[in-house]
Amino acid sequence: MEYRELYEWGVCRLREAGIEEASLDARLLLEEVCGTDRNYLLVHGEETVSGEKKDSYADMISRRGLHIPLQQIVGYQEFMGLKFAVTPDVLIPRQDTEILVEEAMRFLHDGMRILDMCTGSGCILLSLLKYSNDCVGTGCDISEKALQTARQNAASLNIEASFVQGDLFENIHDRYDFIVSNPPYIPTDVIPGLMEEVKDHEPVEALDGGEDGLAFYRRILDCAGEYLYPGGMLFFEIGCEQAGDVVRLMEKAGFEEVTVCRDFAGLDRVVYARRCG
């Protein structure tokens, strides 16, 4: 079968399955199978694809048709220009989360100590470590399976970091200059209405922020101050409607210089503040 025919077949199958970005996903999966890039479809569309590649493509298309996220099918997602392994045990790194990394980078100095609470794939921590010098990083997560993926990411990106399993701070005994966190923040009763890709295939523990979505911000803020050096900073990713609540919680916990940042869609996405010195 020709490359272009195969692509068109993939688009049709994904459309029938109700996949929103059918043509994009069909192309990306074909590129993944064939090791080609975006131009290949335009320039070499008539080339023949081997039977073996065709079979793997058909397999990927049928999995995508079941609404399995593309990143779980190909096994990775790029984040901050780095390639992170993705499994069903971790939240897929989102572009919005790059805002948190970029904001934290503005304040990060060489040699600082960073704690990433609810590290998941490790994407936040490992990006900060990759783009700084001599920083010491710890990633914490309640899920041992998520930590396995985070450790695998540290190894493949050649970054030194330590990982601690635990329910928030239960196994954390050090102090840090920075605490960064993208905790689960979706209100429990919103989850059933999310896209199938998210609600059925991403780990619910990484999504569910309790009744009002704020449970983890409250719990983290209950003790974050004790784990930060005076003058240390706390960075949270937030849901776009949570800025007001999270700002209030941070102020109530005694944090200063509380600042809200927006993402590229103009939505509130990050709140950060400083532990009073």
The region, left, alpha or beta by phi > 0 then psi within -120 to 50, assigned to residue 257 is left
Is residue 123 part of the contact set for ligand GLN (CB under 6 A)?
yes
Q: How far is the CB of 130 from ligand GLN (least distance, A)?
A: 15
| 120 part of the interface to ligand GLN, by CB under 6 A | yes
User: Considering only 57-65, 101-109, 114-122, 152-160, which stretch makes contact with ligand GLN by CB under 6 A?
Assistant: 114-122
Q: Which stretch binds ligand GLN (CB under 6 A): 62-70, 115-123, 152-160, 252-260?
A: 115-123
Residue placing its CB nearer to ligand GLN in the complex, 65 or 122? 122
> How many residues in the shown chain lie near ligand GLN by CB under 6 A?
13
Q: Which residue is nearest to ligand GLN (CB)?
A: 120
Are the C-beta atoms of 84 and 109 separated by less than 8 Å? no
In the bound state with ligand GLN, the residue whose beta carbon lies nearer, of 49 and 206, is 206
Q: Is 138 in the site for ligand GLN (CB under 6 A)?
A: no
Tell me how far, at minimum, the Cβ of 22 lies from ligand GLN, in Å. 26
> Hey, which residues between 62 and 91 contact ligand GLN (CB under 6 A)?
91
Least gap, CB of 91 to ligand GLN (angstroms): 4
Interface map 149-188 toward ligand GLN (x if CB under 6 A): ---------------------------------xxx----
| DSSP one-letter string for the chain | -BHHHHHHHHHHHHHHTT-TTHHHHHHHHHHHHHT--TTHHHHSTTSBPPHHHHHHHHHHHHHHHTT--HHHHHTEEEETTEEEE--TTSPPP-TTHHHHHHHHHHH--TT-EEEEES-TTSHHHHHHHHTSSS-EEEEEES-HHHHHHHHHHHHHTT---EEEESSGGGG--S-EEEEEE----B-GGGGGGS-HHHHTTS-GGGTB--TTS-HHHHHHHHHGGGGEEEEEEEEEE--TT-HHHHHHHHHHTTEEEEEEEE-TTS-EEEEEEEE--
Region near ligand GLN per CB under 6 A, out of 22-30, 53-61, 120-128, 191-199 = 120-128
Report 202-221 residues binding ligand GLN (CB under 6 A): 206
Q: CB neighbours of 77 closer than 8 A, spacing ≥ 6?
A: 71, 83, 84, 86, 92, 93, 121
Among 93, 137, 213, 239, indicate the residue that binds ligand GLN (CB under 6 A).
93
Residue whose CB is less far from ligand GLN, 69 or 120: 120
Residues in touch with ligand GLN (CB under 6 A): 91, 93, 97, 118-121, 123-124, 182-184, 206
